[in-house]
Amino acid sequence: MTHLPPSEHLINRELGILEFNRRVLAQAEDPGTPLLERLRFLCIFSSNMDEFFEIRLSGLKEQLRLNPHHEGPDGLSARAVYKQVSKLSHALVARQYDLLNMDVLPAMAEQGIRFYRRTHWTPEQADWLRDFFFNELMPVLTPIGLDPSHPFPNVLNKSLNFAVELSGKDAFGRSSGKAVVQAPRSLPRVIQLPKEIAGCENGFVFLSSILHTHVGALFAGMQVLGCYQFRVTRNSDLFVDEEENKNLREQLQGELPHRHFGNAVRLEVADNCSEEMTAFLLKQFRLTRDDLYQVRGPVNLVRLMNVPDKVDRPDLKFSPFTAGVPVQLADKTDIFAAISKGDILLHHPFQTFQPVIDFIRQAAEDPNVLAMKQTVYRTGTDSELMRHLIAAAQRGKEVTVVVELLARFDEEANINWAEQLEAAGAHVVYGVVGHKTHAKMAMVVRRENGKLKRYAHLGTGNYHARTARLYTDFGMLTCNPELCQDVNDVFQQITGLGDAGEHTYLWQSPFTLHANIIRAIRNETERARNGEKAIIVAKMNALLEPKVIAALYEASQAGVQIDLIVRAVCALRPGLKDISDNIRVRSVIGRFLEHHRVFYFYNGGAEDVYLASADWMDRNFFRRIETCFPVLDARLKKRVINEGIKPYLKDNSKTWEMLPDGTYKKRGRRGRVFEAQAFLLNLLAAKI
């Protein structure tokens, strides 16, 4: 029986997430990253931190409120974690703005991409921006004076706002001295100047600079003493009462609007904000000084994400590429005929996601296809794939779609798709209460030669065409009868009622995945104890589950050589003497977000390889419906090893090695530089 590891052998989850964000920030710091991509990584860091505060920090604050002394698996109390998180978060944000102001923006200016501050506008620029304010901005702005008749407004989560200090009296004789101006979300946060006005190829002005300059026009007859941008981040976790839930979709539709007005957890203000106004804002949002982030620049850096797209400078961006096509599909128009000749492995984004769309499209159009089933976790607001499912239902096919309504931040899009699917005649199921459906699988039932034949797609990533160009994932198209039967059984579990049953090949959460992972680790452990060669390599997004960590520690002590490639947070401590000496943990942060889950067990030379939708976390093992499937075809197994494991173990360009204390250091470059993602692009992308 595996005992849980002692608390000193585990890393805190929240601190691990911040360490991951430190590595993301390092991409913006790296001069080897193309300049406009450095700006994009600053925005990605901001987006990651927003979600951290909305979900993780808000949860931590709730723990502080309910039981501040309760200790987690790592032995830290909520109060101790909050103190460390606050210190590290402030340091990271300060470093982010240092990079922006002292490094990235000056380097962009040298390349003719300038952000003009209001103190440096030319007369021509000032005139153009004045016209822009009065014609484009002022008509949609609503200043709110603060007095007994106008209490402090209910500020939207992450919205851009301006706190204004005033003197004098208005037309009604009011003199409250304070006002708030909210910038509608429809307004761009960065305005691009015409070239003839900018004086360079690419000139930009922040919306905040324009409003600061002309805010007095909103308060006629009064004097503006100060104008300060601010932004508040709120708890964005949705509460769904599963015991009281009668209709999950209706309950979510009622809950979604409240996401914008949850309890405040962070206040960002411009660093020139007066002490009086800062204290006033903290009081309004019931926050403390620990929750205050005073920044030197725009408080909403995420909204700069589209700036690189506005600038036509390919030399300052990652090189464009065309995703490759698997050789089995290169000259094939009938995808079912191609799959019938053997399993097809897809490696995104290096290979195109189009075969997955074609699989669903051809099934929707094929008169021989009788039924289609698919899970949907994240698919986006504009999904060609979903439109094909709707068309299939309209043609009278049996279409069943398991839509996960609780996919965080995609709830609204998924509700909309669910409604459209139902209107088209599809069967829409919202999974199992208490278990998110996170499995990535689709199945097609087709009549061939008088018999029914199943085809399936299984993957590590979402059915989302956009993220398939940004995330690394594996997908497999198969008509293996046993594997397809397993997929069918999982769909029946979700949509119907009955026992879990046994699968031939699939490992499934919440029933067998955890036990089988533990069993595979122990198998390597026993082989090592018997003097045999024993190897485990696992690639995933996060590793947190204590029993798996304990089993890995035990395997290390037996002599199993373990390599863990964990993109984000890892609670396991590698390199502890006599505990995890044989475990190495690395994180690869590069152009694409590493997302695939690959599990390798040497198993006496059999080299078992599995692909999965699940990370090694409590939620994935016990509170989600997940699938993990073996790569049975020897040729494809070799591909997964050569594409999903070996390049990442060899990478000495974008790899960070985890130290026993939970911090990371950039892997040293010994010999020739090797970058896994660049290697895979060269190997798999189309040759131009």
Mind giving me the DSSP string for 233-248? Answer: EE--PPP--TTT-S-H
Indicate the range of 20-29, 176-185, 440-449, 644-653 predicted with least confidence. 176-185
Confidence of residue 142 (pLDDT cuts 50, 70, 90): confident
327-499 folds as Endonuclease; Chain A (3.30.870)
pLDDT at 547 over 90: yes
Calculate the average pLDDT of the chain: 92
Cα-flanking dihedrals φ and ψ of residue 464, to 5°? -135, 110
pLDDT of residue 512: 96
CA atoms of 524 and 604, how far apart (whole Å)? 8
pLDDT at 89 over 80: yes
Check for a shared fold between 327-499 and 508-684: yes
Domain ranges across the chain? 7-316, 327-499, 508-684
3 an active-site residue? no
Helix (H, G, I), strand (E, B) or coil at 414: helix
| Greater model confidence, 3 or 240 | 3
Q: pLDDT tens across 610-636, in order?
A: 999 999 999 999 999 999 999 999 999
pTM metric for this prediction:
0.93
CA atoms of 679 and 617, how far apart (whole Å)? 30
Summarize the confidence of residues 534-542 as an average pLDDT: 98
Q: pLDDT tens across 329-366, in order?
A: 988 789 999 999 999 999 999 999 999 999 999 999 99
pLDDT at 669 over 80: no
pLDDT of residue 433: 76
CA atoms of 397 and 390, how far apart (whole Å)? 10
Confidence of residue 245 (pLDDT cuts 50, 70, 90): very low
pLDDT of residue 247: 54
pLDDT of residue 241: 46
Residue in 438, 464, 503, 595 annotated catalytic: 438
Find where tokens 């993602």 sit. 677
Helix residue spans in 192-306 (DSSP H): 195-198, 207-214, 248-255, 275-284
pLDDT of residue 260: 52
Check whether domain 508-684 has CATH 3.30.70.260, yes or no:
no
Helix (H, G, I), strand (E, B) or coil at 463: coil
Q: How far is CA 431 from CA 87, 202, 428, 440, 500, in A?
A: 40, 49, 9, 13, 15
pLDDT of residue 254: 47
pLDDT of residue 1: 58
pLDDT of residue 255: 46
Q: pLDDT tens across 382-430, in order?
A: 889 999 999 999 999 999 999 887 656 567 777 888 889 999 999 999 8
Contact indicator for 588, 594 with CB cutoff of 8 Å: yes
Summarize the confidence of residues 642-669 as an average pLDDT: 95
| Greater model confidence, 255 or 404 | 404
Which CATH superfamily is 7-316 part of? Polyphosphate kinase middle domain (3.30.1840.10)
pLDDT of residue 417: 86
Q: Which of 2, 3, 13 is CA-nearest to residue 74?
A: 13
Indicate the range of 44-58, 141-155, 372-386 predicted with least confidence. 141-155
Summarize the confidence of residues 169-179 as an average pLDDT: 72
pLDDT at 257 over 80: no
pLDDT of residue 496: 83
620: exposed, middle or buried (Cβ count in 10 Å: 0-12, 13-18, 19+): buried
pLDDT at 177 over 90: no
Summarize the confidence of residues 269-289 as an average pLDDT: 95
pLDDT of residue 185: 86
Confidence of residue 181 (pLDDT cuts 50, 70, 90): very high
Summarize the confidence of residues 145-155 as an average pLDDT: 80
pLDDT at 146 over 70: yes
pLDDT of residue 556: 98
- Residue 568 tokens read as 């984000």
Q: pLDDT tens across 375-384, in order?
A: 998 888 888 9
